[in-house]
Structure 1
Amino acid sequence: MAGRVRQPIDLRVLEKWISKHVPEIEVPLDIKQVRPPSVALPGDHDQHDAHLADHAQFGFGQSNPTYQLTAADGKRYVLRKKPPGQLVSKTAHKVEREYRIIAALAKTDVPVPRAYCLCEDASVIGTPFYIMEFLDGRIFEDPIIPSVLPDHRRAIWADAVRTLAKLHRIDPRSVGLEEFGKPTGFYTRQVNTWRAICDAQAAVRDVETRDAVGPLPHFAQLMHFFADESQQPADRGTLIHGDFKIDNLVFHKTEPRVIGILDWEMSTIGHPLSDISNLLTPYFTARLDPRRSVNVHRGFLPRATRGLPTPDEITTLYFSVVEQPTPHNNHHHHHHHHHPSQQTAAVELSLAADHHTAASGADRRREMQWAQAFNIFRLSAICQGIAARQAGRQASSEQARRYGDARTPLAEFAWALVQSARASSPPSSYLASSSSSSSGGAGGGGNQGGEEDSSSPTGSIPCHSKIPQDPHAACPNARVYLPLNPCFLDYPAASYLQTWRIRHKITTSTGKATI
């Protein structure tokens, strides 16, 4: 199969189409394709974590080619198009789906870029495309957000959490998205799909040694636990982003508030806890040994970073907002209505904990334990996929090897979290309801304890004996998060699951794969 050809866009044809359909975008246009920044290895990323959004807005490893348009009047826009060529998957790279959810959310209090138009006529620039607003703000690649003061860091995280809760409290029917995904059974489908993917990946043999990649540690027990619907979080379906994390948000240039959520490629109707557990990932991977794993950021250990809210503060704020009724806002809400100050954010984080009743807290903690264990398992499966690609020599870098090797400690960690979840009756608080967490006031965030104490339960995770910990092996500048997709290895981002389903003829209902 030939390599992907970069198709130049015929600017005259595009300008003619825009003049007819979106006259407010003034032609002639200046156009430039934006390449995603190359992914840094641990320790070598840019000192300035907040770029102006010129470059960062175009994301890591996006599979849909993205262009910046500058109109005759100087206004900037973003064009996203389907890649050229025959796609393995009909549903990956669905720019139509991205456009649909961004346009639908414009009527809500969820901050999204304004969507201007969708063109499904492939004759204009070769493939379908849509045009949206360019958001001029800050994007933080490092979710520790080292460049800001503690109060500002706390307020930024609080608004990210608030923004996610606003998305989850929307009734898909109220914005015409009831057909956007299946309303029930999200985690059951995920378990079946990932079981089949892992079986397929485990069977891949190294082209030279003929050794199989092999199953993840504790794979059978993990699957047995996750497939038990009595253990799963209560089934519910909301709009989910699919890869919600700090660096997929654009923040106001000076204020600690989200002005837009980017990268909707993975969005669907699914279980809301999958998004919140994804946001919390760096708090969990911080416990891993940085010599054995990847993206271990010690700054997420308890009290290691001033102003960083604890996992418990995040979940309690999230639930307090998600349970509020959805306001009936009109268009362009997020440019005008009141936004909380840094002080308000700190008070909100504290108040949320006060309203967190013991009964609902126990259920929520149990559900969060399950969701986070599944999230860590999913990361181990993605790393196993990288190991499988390396076995077939589709990926051969040192970085690929490190990610592939990380499957083992991640799977061990997922198993430790499962054991903790099973043992908690009543549930143990590894998302601790800590008495000290809100005592830090506006900026302290409970961080005045000085050095981290790995035995402390405050906002922490069980220290399982199988998880090697070495506080001296800190890697302060490590890349912080494991992205949802191994896109830094040239894998088309949204098509990771889909490609495996098709390549191995996976049926989601049974989870059986034929290779």
Structure 2
Amino acid sequence: MGNDVPKTLGSSNCFIYKRLPINVSKLEQYLVSRIPGFKTPLEIKQFIYGQSNPTYFLIDANKKNYVLRKKPPGKLLDKTAHAIEREFKVLDALSRNTDVPVPKVYVLCEDNEILGTPFFVMEYLKGRIFEDVLFSSLPIEERRKCWYSAIDSLAKLHSVNYKSIGLENYGKPSGFYSRQIRSLPKISEKQAATMDDEGNKVGPLPRLNEMMQWFKNNEIADDTSIIHGDFKVFHPTEPRVIGILDWELSTIGHPLSDLSNLLMNFFVKDIPDSPILGLRDVKNLSIPSANELIQVYCEKSGRQYPIPNFEFAIAFTFFRTAVILQGIAARIARNQASSEKAKKYANLFKDTSLMGFEIIDRTIKSKL
């Protein structure tokens, strides 16, 4: 993430010019029968966010705002992807039973006759989306408060007893890292073998086998909570989180995976012309340090500080991110992604993997 002016959800710069088609008449009839006080006619716009699951801004005749998320049109290649039903389930459980900042959900529709694919409607949160981890557009004190609020939201989420709110089947109750240690190298090897039209292979992650052996030998102690992946909406004027959105990739997993994902930029070295802002070598930051944020997280979540073997979680985040970036490179090779932004991300997969290995090397040397 780089420097950017925050976007306010609902403002003109949050919508695409031409939205995907929706049967407005059927949707109006359905919502009138399901949401108390809902009144037609309905105005619909599509957000630039949520392109995996198309996301729409709804305004009814009472000028009340809603958000609709649906599966994309057409036949889905992966039946487990675009899990709208899972998103509704976790949001419903959290909004009714916890103080985790999430929007209220109104209705889940699994009837394909209405909009062609399942969808749900939830509360609209008017707030700001920051793509800049430094919060550069804000006064310094507010930048710090935004980070503290983000950490507080994550600690609240990880402190939820997911079984007690009906989410015991939301994911596997153990072995989060062990499963990924087994599966991600296989995915990476397939991606590495992908060839472009000229016969050039994407190529492997550097030192992959060595890295995987270290992960197997140094795996962090198992733990479980609801994990999210991180997409937060901040109050329109105040430095605090008012909602955690985009739950498509959420599951039951290791809480330190979430924390390391949130703090990854602090461990990234800056690469010229990179779309990812590296903070590792930046001095005199106007935001709290990674160590300060980890300490606050531990206080809020009741976890031991310093966190034992946290280097594993950070290094693994780099490895997983490298696999994701390598996947973008594979899609480019297959002519399935061509934007300049995608190419910039794809070119980083080897550097990202090596940054993870630098953490491993430093950890090994510190124990000698």
TM-score by length of 2: 0.90
Aligned residues: 349
8 Å CA contact 2:224, 2:252 repeated in 1: yes
For the pair 1:156 / 2:143, whether they are aligned, the reply is no
- For residue 416 of structure 1, what is the aligned residue in structure 2? 358
Query: C-alpha distance in 2, partners of 1:260/1:371?
Result: 25
Question: Deviation string for 1:452-494 (max 9, x for gaps)?
Answer: xxxxxxxxxxxxxxxxxxxxxxxxxxxxxxxxxxxxxxxxxxx
Q: Hey, what's the Cα distance between the residues in 2 that align with 1:62 and 1:281? A: 24
- 1:255 correspondence with 2:238: yes
What does residue 316 of structure 1 align with?
Answer: 295
Describe how 1:444-483 pairs up with structure 2 within 5 A: none
User: 1:290 touches 1:296 (CA, 8 Å); kept in 2?
Assistant: no
Cα deviation for residue 302 of structure 1 reads 4.6
CA positional deviation for 1:261:
0.5
Paired position in structure 1 for 2:223: 236
Which of 259, 271, 279 pairs up with 1:276? Answer: 259
1:219-242, Cα deviation, whole Å (9 max, x unpaired): 1101111233xx11110110000x
1:102 aligned to 58, 82, 91, which one? Answer: 91
SS of residue paired to 1:130 = strand
Letter in 2 for 1:305: L
Map of 2:14 onto structure 1: none
C-alpha deviations, 1:343-369, integer Å up to 9, x for none?
xxxxxxxxxxxxxxxxx435x152x21
Unaligned runs of 5+ in 1: 1-5, 37-58, 325-359, 427-515
CA contact (8 A) 1:370 1:421 kept: no
Contact 1:139–1:249 (CA<8 Å) still a contact in 2? yes
Amino acid in the other structure paired with 1:382: I
- AA at the equivalent of 1:198: S
Secondary structure of the 1:9 match is: coil
Cα distance in structure 2, aligned partners of 1:268 and 1:194: 17
Q: Distance in 1 between matches of 2:22 and 2:347?
A: 41
Residue 5 (structure 2) aligns with: none
Taking the TM superposition and a 5 Å limit, the aligned residue runs for 1:62-461 are 62-106=51-95, 107-208=97-198, 210-228=199-217, 231-241=218-228, 243-244=229-230, 248-285=231-268, 287-290=269-272, 293-298=274-279, 301-306=281-286, 308-323=287-302, 360-362=304-306, 364-366=307-309, 368-425=310-367
Q: Distance in 1 between matches of 2:53 and 2:328?
A: 21
Look up the equivalent residue of 2:145 and give its one-letter code: A
Cα drift, residue 389 of structure 1 = 2.1
SS class of match (1:172): coil
Task: Give CA deviations for 1:79-101 in whole Å, capped at 9, x if unaligned.
Answer: 11111111111111111111111
Gaps of at least 5 residues in structure 2 are: 1-18
Q: Which letter does structure 2 place at the counterpart of 1:97? A: R
Name the SS of the counterpart of 1:67 in structure 2: strand
**Paired residues of 2:155 and 2:301 also in contact (CA < 8 A):** yes
Q: In 1, Cα distance between the equivalents of 2:366 and 2:157? A: 30
> How does the TM-score come out when normalised to structure 1?
0.65
Offset of residue 294 of structure 1: 4.1
Q: Does structure 1 conserve the Cα–Cα contact (< 8 Å) formed by 2:267 and 2:278? A: no
The one-letter code sitting in structure 1 at the alignment partner of 2:30 is W
Residue type of the partner of 2:125?
L
Query: Take 1:361 and 1:136, find their aligned partners in 2: how far apart are those partners?
Result: 35
Separation (CA, whole Å) in 1 of partners of 2:138 and 2:70: 35
Q: Which has the higher contact order (CA 8 A, sep 6+)?
A: 1
State yes or no: 1:14 paired with 2:27. yes
Q: Deviations over 1:10-32 (max 9, x none)?
A: 22221211121112322222122
Instruction: For 2:60, give the aligned amino acid.
Output: A
8 Å CA contact 2:46, 2:54 repeated in 1: yes
Question: Which deviations, in whole Å up to 9, do the C-alpha atoms of 1:380-438 show, x marking residues without a partner?
Answer: 11222222222223334444433222112111111111122333339xxxxxxxxxxxx
| Percentage of pairs with the same residue | 45
Relative distance call for 1:398 and 1:10 in structure 2 (3 A) is: closer
What CA RMSD, in Å, does the superposition of the two structures yield over aligned residues?
A: 1.9
CA contact (8 A) 1:288 1:409 kept: no
Q: Would the aligned equivalents of 1:294 and 1:406 in 2 still touch at CA under 8 Å?
A: no
Residue 205 of structure 1: CA displacement?
2.0
SS of structure 2 residue aligned to 1:175: coil
**1:201-221 Cα deviation digits (max 9, x unpaired):** 11112321x232221111110
Greater gyration radius: 1
Runs of 4+ in 1 over 6 A off after TM superposition: none
* Contact 2:270/2:278 (<8 A) preserved: no
